[in-house]
Structure 1
Amino acid sequence: MKKELHIFFTSLMFYTRIPCPKNIDHHPDYLNKATRYFPLIGWIVGSISFLAFYLFSLFLSTEIAVIFALVISVLTTGAFHEDGFADVCDGFGGGWTKEKILIIMKDSAIGAYGAIGIVLLFLLKFKLLSESILIFKADNSIAILQVFLLFISAHALSRLAAISIIFTHEYSRDDATSKSKPIAKNHTWKEIFGSFLFGLIPLFAFSYFHYQFLFALVPVFISRFFLARYFQKWIDGYTGDCLGATQQVCEVVYYLSILFIWKFI
């Protein structure tokens, strides 16, 4: 149990800005095992984001509360995944060879592709979340619980989609300069089982109210499949930025899927 707590806090420290015990560090072995808790981190980030939404919605409009929820989410993770998404936009938008793409993605400066991508990403998140929440509120009396599960399931499932890439593909960089390199090593059934367990539970709970929500798995993992194939084609695998981009894209696809299912299925 003590070792599992250490692994969990390693995951929490690596993927968020939440304070952890002082004895926790970025030991490669613990980082490798920490992948099993990545979707569980989504529970925490989603809960914090929902709490921000709920508190601000008591005094302000739904749209403004959603904006604050997104702000708190970014502050909680330190824009870890959003930064990866921007780097992927710059790298694959401006590079035409594996070497060039990897060089661009490693550059800390943001380019035009990254800036445009981030703006469009947050516009989609804002609009999809706002519309979904307003529909839930209009249609039933337990909307707040459904909104909570929407936040949790989105963050958990999108992280599962991202981390599953390391189970099926190889790390692209030949050197060990990336801080994500330690999570790209060998994995046991514990990492795979833990990832899928924590990644799917919130969606199963969400589908209790509307079983058709389970159908959202299809577009999310189709998106994951094509993203992974795209990365494989251009850089022979993935990087930490690719995982961050996958998480962000799959989160948006999930919101879009839930909204579509609620309206039409």
Structure 2
Amino acid sequence: MKAIQSFLAAIVCFTRIPIPWTLPADAFTRASLQLPLLGWCIGGLQYGIFLLASRVMSVELALFWALIFPCLLSGGMHEDGLADFADGMLGGQTASRRLEIMKDPRVGSYGVLALILVLGGSFLALKETALNQKATALLLSTILSRSIVIPLLGSLPYLNHAGSRSEGFIPQSFRGWRVLLPLWPLLLTAWLLPDARLVLFFLVFILIFVAIRYYLQKKLEGLTGDCLGAAIKLTEFSCFMLSCILWQRSA
């Protein structure tokens, strides 16, 4: 029952889908732990949108609708995190100044540039991915990108609790072996891509985690909701780039 409640809380926290039930407060503190499973649901919808849309419009337009679907579903939550992250980390000289900039609701030039590069690069990478693998690439990238939140939460302290909209979604005492349990949906990707190429996707997942964790530890000594949003978009972008390399579109 608790697992169902926390999954429903994840839907409330990370999408604009209304849930007509009252959920206990502790369900929301576990909401972030349901992101890998939520990634399967969102990725599955993306998969279906692309397949259906590609029957009635060009492949490029089908990709466009599949890519903007998660953004519309979340209200641009992760994209907003990426923009704030870029503004703060590139515009601030100290940890406190970086955090201050990330709190600013206005988007600066670094944020705009990050959105253009990541979103535009994602579209181009998918466009150059083989047609019969585009839907698989969409699903894999969505699952892995949402899953990266788990090890980040388990290895870095969450900063700026007071006044943060993400505060209520962060689990407490989330360390050690507990980090591995919410990642069980990753095991299901072996059904999606049952060959050695899946190892490369997991390798990219690990490398992105190590790089982002190191960067956050060095620059902030912790993380915020914006950092998690940026990690999701950067992991997604990296998976699209790998898909383009593994499944190059024939000329």
TM-score relative to the length of structure 1: 0.86
SS in 1 for 2:98: helix
Equivalent in the alignment of 1:163: 150
Equivalent in the alignment of 2:162: 176
For residue 189 of structure 1, report the CA deviation from its aligned partner: 7.4
Confirm or deny that 1:186 pairs with 2:173. Answer: yes
Q: Distance in 1 between matches of 2:115 and 2:58?
A: 24
Distance 1:111 1:184, change over 3 A: farther
CA contact (8 A) 2:78 2:226 kept: yes
For residue 260 of structure 1, report the CA deviation from its aligned partner: 1.9
Confirm or deny that 1:21 pairs with 2:20. Answer: yes
Q: What does the per-residue CA deviation read over 1:194-231, in whole Å, with 9 as the maximum and x for residues that have no partner?
A: 421113422x12321x4223212112221221111111
For structure 1, the residue ranges without an aligned partner over 5 or more in a row are 138-142
For residue 131 of structure 1, report the CA deviation from its aligned partner: 1.6
Match of 1:122 among 119, 123, 136: 119
Match of 1:258 among 226, 243, 248: 243
Q: Percent of aligned positions with the same letter in both sequences?
A: 29
Q: Distance in 2 between matches of 1:219 and 1:245?
A: 16
Q: Distance in 1 between matches of 2:54 and 2:172?
A: 43
Match of 2:229 among 240, 244, 258: 244
Q: What does the per-residue CA deviation read over 1:74-119, in whole Å, with 9 as the maximum and x for residues that have no partner?
A: 1112111111111001101111111111111011111111011101
For residue 184 of structure 1, report the CA deviation from its aligned partner: 4.8
CA contact (8 A) 2:126 2:134 kept: no
Equivalent in the alignment of 1:140: none
Which deviates more, 241-250 or 54-63?
A: 54-63
Distance 1:65 1:191, change over 3 A: farther
Q: Distance in 2 between matches of 1:164 and 1:199?
A: 13
Q: Distance in 2 between matches of 1:255 and 1:153?
A: 9
CA contact (8 A) 1:167 1:192 kept: yes
Equivalent in the alignment of 2:191: 205
For residue 191 of structure 1, report the CA deviation from its aligned partner: 5.5
For structure 2, the residue ranges without an aligned partner over 5 or more in a row are none
Q: Distance in 1 between matches of 2:205 and 2:176?
A: 23
Counterpart code for 2:191: A
CA contact (8 A) 1:105 1:241 kept: yes
Q: Distance in 1 between matches of 2:108 and 2:175?
A: 38
Confirm or deny that 1:31 pairs with 2:16. Answer: no
Q: What does the per-residue CA deviation read over 1:146-184, in whole Å, with 9 as the maximum and x for residues that have no partner?
A: 5443322211111111221011111122x4211222305
Q: Distance in 1 between matches of 2:204 and 2:6?
A: 31
Confirm or deny that 1:98 pairs with 2:95. Answer: yes
Q: Distance in 2 between matches of 1:74 and 1:158?
A: 14
Equivalent in the alignment of 1:149: 136
1:40-51 equivalences under 5 Å are: 40-51=37-48
Which deviates more, 182-191 or 51-60?
A: 182-191
Distance 1:199 1:191, change over 3 A: farther
Counterpart code for 1:239: T
Counterpart code for 2:136: L
Match of 1:109 among 106, 129, 151: 106
TM-score relative to the length of structure 2: 0.90
Q: Distance in 2 between matches of 1:75 and 1:232?
A: 31
